[in-house]
Structure 1
């Protein structure tokens, strides 16, 4: 009996497999050369670490340099370029760009803000993360940026600021040269001059000097402002891992305390109740401007030491010693406008 030719099939299959493997092995030997791609970026400046209007990181919320997108708190950063472009010169002007925070009067002698849900505060102010709650008006001539942390997480600063905190980040000396002179003249005879100069003295030491002088009248009769200050700063790179920043500040603020206009003492159900008196002529000073001086003298010393360990841990310590001398006297309208057209002083 003749056997069927099924034994030839394995040989045919083996020959077919060998034919299919040949071009595949040849394709593996081909080398594809890609074009070179050049990647460039602007280096970070050690004298202006945040450029533009949008900051991407902050140390205020977590005490570490963390990207804002990874911070589960509400943080607003007013950068140096925004301060310059909008000519922001006071806390009152800055908070106009911070949602949930409004300026309060401060009785004409100090910064005061109202955090949404927490009320008015004059004490939740910090400079470089250290308490700066003296009752005075602050200037930004030596400030790089302002970081506002909102909400109860501000209690990490240890002062009990349930509504939030406002932290001023100071300018530091660096090796990128700084040469800035600003002279401005504004309404009500306002004259203001600021100086910002600095550079590296050698590979290990850098110097920076900030100074300001301002003199201005006001739309209110008898009210004026004069303030001036100077802040020298040194940065020492002791090694690639250790850095020390030392600075000192002397600042004086002299002004007449303006408490504003009295309110109308209307009936309890009147729409005029506690509304400001409509004078038509807003230059009237209610009280005695000559007997309402407000003078603050600030002398402060700051030190920061930072060391990077090999295991990725960074140790940073800030120390601040400040002496404040304030004199405040105010003769002002102490009551609303009475029905007979008089007010108390």
Structure 2
């Protein structure tokens, strides 16, 4: 705390000194808000910089693949959850989990601890609303040098709509299939040259094409930004409240539906089933130029995410009794994060060598407290052919698990991009983390775990021409206590020394980043291999207390293209091939060589938009996945039966029209040809739906 107060004092003094000099700092919100949400080219113009790069390097200067996905383009189709927005991006497997986001990057889950909101870790079991999100940034591959612990597949950063110095006064209303309707207010008011405030609010409710499934979402987010006269010091603050309630779509698997011969439209939610996610997020950011060419950024965040669910789920079918037996669970989980990040960036040029140096220090306290009502074998048998109003099954009302987990982490890193003769670049850096976990269970059994980890990164870049940059990199990350991303240590596992080994993740990547036609469109092609060692995993989804260890490997190739191909013709495409498999499992050896669960070989989307003028646009696109891998295991027989989900190709279309400079409207059709497909083993994809949105700016 003393160090933090001293730092504030230094920044304020330095800011005062800087005010007398001709320096400037580019506010982080400017790049985000550079294009109006109603601009018909939005989502098809690649940013040169992204906030997920904490070291301030541009996309082209980073020897790893980076994607930035515009949210509004996806919300026009009626999608609000993060997994739907990332569907079809190269290397991304976005399935469905009603309790979380179900996202994997390059074969490995990011749900536990690799999702961030404006640079603050957005950890915990929760489905993330995007009602106040401007864009989603993906840094692919291990990123421990910037963020500390990581599962190694990649890092996702959600960039919020924040106060800035571009006035905006907008109202919008939307309505669509299945009684969906909602509205948003977004006001960004510039009070003076140095002070601006913003308020965004959103409400939506609706139903699903699946019987009994419905939802209601609420969000409000005020923010402000203040600067000194010459812009050398800026301070911004934002608070976001999200409330998402739903009757969950947590139904039996496809094979069970097929055995019953029941339409996929039928849902199996019981009366009283629900999931409720609540988020409180407070973030501040201080930017200052201390002395010439030395910039400081200090980000402080407080986040509390809570999930409360109580529902029946899944199920097995008995063909003789014609009864469906479903599982039951209820849980309340609180996830709290208090974090502080200090970054110092300096750029300087020598006679023949240039440097972009970044130094950072992170400190965080994370707490996770799950309270679970669960008993193995507690089930409910229902008549699946009857109306849901007849299902009055008893619920388990005793807390069986009440754990308290706490993690304290310190991390320090340094990164340097060295430029030789303007064409050759070497990025080299390293980070060291100190961390401590402590867990206490319902019986007051307690266990602590301390360790540290060094995470290096090295990359070389060669500018073949000013438009084309070839790169190669090696990066490493770690995940404490065998991975999984969750904060906590087992209080019951006897083999603590073996299962407590930290997971390490190494990536080798080679790629080419290019700009074409006078920077009208850009492309990235990347080839990679990621090696996971000592991954701690749960081999039996019906036994949450069983753990084993194995190694994993993924390798693939990705191609991304974004921009204006011809006059008025814009393209956004992302296509990838990946193979992710298991190895080194000594206990469940028969699983070695199998594809990782819920991964696919091919992922991709291609969208074309014609917007010759600013009056109207027409857009069409395809999202496609190959076969999604899923297995049914028989440990007694040491066999794994494939229950893979077939691949799919989905077509979406939208159109927009501006009635005036103030009013516009879009109409979008999701799943134009009503393709029947499955997003996960227990959730079919949405059937054809419509969404219309009316926007008025004044």
Measured on the aligned residues, the alpha-carbon RMSD in Å equals 2.5
Q: Pick closer, same or farther for the CA change 1:241–1:278 going to 2, 3 Å.
A: farther
C-alpha separation in 2, matches of 1:237 and 1:83: 33
State the match for 1:53 in structure 2: 44
Which is higher, the Rg of structure 1 or of structure 2?
1
1:126-141 to structure 2, matched below 5 A, reads 126-141=116-131
C-alpha separation in 2, matches of 1:279 and 1:54: 47
| Residue deviations 1:114-171 (CA, integer Å, cap 9, x gap) | 2223247343211011111132222222212110111123663112231112110111
Secondary structure, counterpart of 2:73 in structure 1: helix
Q: 2:238 aligns with which of 233, 239, 247?
A: 247
State the match for 1:5 in structure 2: none
Moved more, 109-118 or 197-206: 109-118
Shift of 1:279: 4.3
User: Quick check: 1:295 aligned with 2:276?
Assistant: yes
CA contact (8 A) 1:56 1:67 kept: no
Secondary structure, counterpart of 2:86 in structure 1: helix
State the match for 1:70 in structure 2: 61
State the match for 1:182 in structure 2: 172
Moved more, 121-130 or 183-192: 121-130
Shift of 1:264: 2.7
Q: Pick closer, same or farther for the CA change 1:238–1:139 going to 2, 3 Å.
A: same
Moved more, 125-134 or 85-94: 85-94
Shift of 1:53: 1.9
CA contact (8 A) 1:291 1:331 kept: no
CA contact (8 A) 2:203 2:218 kept: yes
State the match for 2:248 in structure 1: 257
C-alpha separation in 1, matches of 2:189 and 2:32: 9
User: Quick check: 1:283 aligned with 2:245?
Assistant: no
Q: Comparing both structures, which one devotes a greater share of its residues to helix?
A: 1
| Residue deviations 1:85-130 (CA, integer Å, cap 9, x gap) | 5554221221125211121222x22222122232473432110111
User: Quick check: 1:211 aligned with 2:201?
Assistant: yes
Shift of 1:282: 2.2
User: Quick check: 1:192 aligned with 2:207?
Assistant: no
| Residue deviations 1:272-314 (CA, integer Å, cap 9, x gap) | xxx965745223223x432321112222211111112332121
User: Quick check: 1:89 aligned with 2:80?
Assistant: yes
Q: Comparing both structures, which one devotes a greater share of its residues to strand?
A: 2
C-alpha separation in 1, matches of 2:96 and 2:293: 46
Q: Pick closer, same or farther for the CA change 1:338–1:55 going to 2, 3 Å.
A: same
Q: Pick closer, same or farther for the CA change 1:83–1:153 going to 2, 3 Å.
A: same
C-alpha separation in 1, matches of 2:236 and 2:224: 6
Secondary structure, counterpart of 1:264 in structure 2: helix
Q: Pick closer, same or farther for the CA change 1:101–1:175 going to 2, 3 Å.
A: same
Secondary structure, counterpart of 1:135 in structure 2: coil
Q: Which has the higher contact order (CA 8 A, sep 6+)?
A: 2
Q: Pick closer, same or farther for the CA change 1:190–1:311 going to 2, 3 Å.
A: same
Q: Pick closer, same or farther for the CA change 1:212–1:279 going to 2, 3 Å.
A: farther
CA contact (8 A) 1:73 1:153 kept: no
C-alpha separation in 1, matches of 2:126 and 2:133: 16
Secondary structure, counterpart of 1:305 in structure 2: strand
State the match for 1:148 in structure 2: 138
Instruction: Count matched residues.
Output: 290
- Gapped runs of 5+ residues in structure 2? 1-28, 36-41, 327-698
Shift of 1:320: 1.1
C-alpha separation in 1, matches of 2:32 and 2:59: 21
